[in-house]
Amino acid sequence: LQRHVSNEERTLLLDLFRKQKQDPVASSVVTQLPAVQILLARLIVIAVSYCGNDFNEDDWDFVFSNLKRLIQSAVVVMEETSENVNDFISGVSSEEKENDTLEGLGHIVFISDPSISNAQNALSAFSLLNALVKHKSTEGEDNLKSLADETWDPVKDRILE
């Protein structure tokens, strides 16, 4: 659900988005904090949604690198969870009560890791971006058409993989 934003709001949002990528030292230290990661993931979704048409190549590189990182961190958590489930199931004897087994599995698969929430935001941004690229490439808009031709297709394939 998108609301109308004024040009001034769009400009402020784009400025805020671009400030997030200006300081490489801060981005390597500060942005590793979970709360900052969550806010950055949310900002990316909002910026892609409202300002995607105004992004330059550096903006897209920042979006793509963050989407990749956010999704990869969630994949690692899911792989670890899968391994924990496999280990748990292989260690369960057939004599153990079904309720105990289900309760144990419930504790294992309950994931409160912020990377899952971040990945949801990253996938939302990915979905918005996919729709934006498809829509704009049919309209013949050069900025997004070149993005689709040069960068988007390999990134999209990698994320879908």
Q: Where are the domains of the chain?
A: 7-160
List, in order, residues 6 or more apart from 158 with CB less than 8 Å away.
68
Highest mean pLDDT among 16-20, 35-39, 81-85, 95-99: 16-20
Closest to 123 in 3D by CA, of 131, 111, 112, 135: 131
102-112 residue pLDDT tens:
777 776 666 66
Q: What percent of the chain has pLDDT over 90?
A: 9
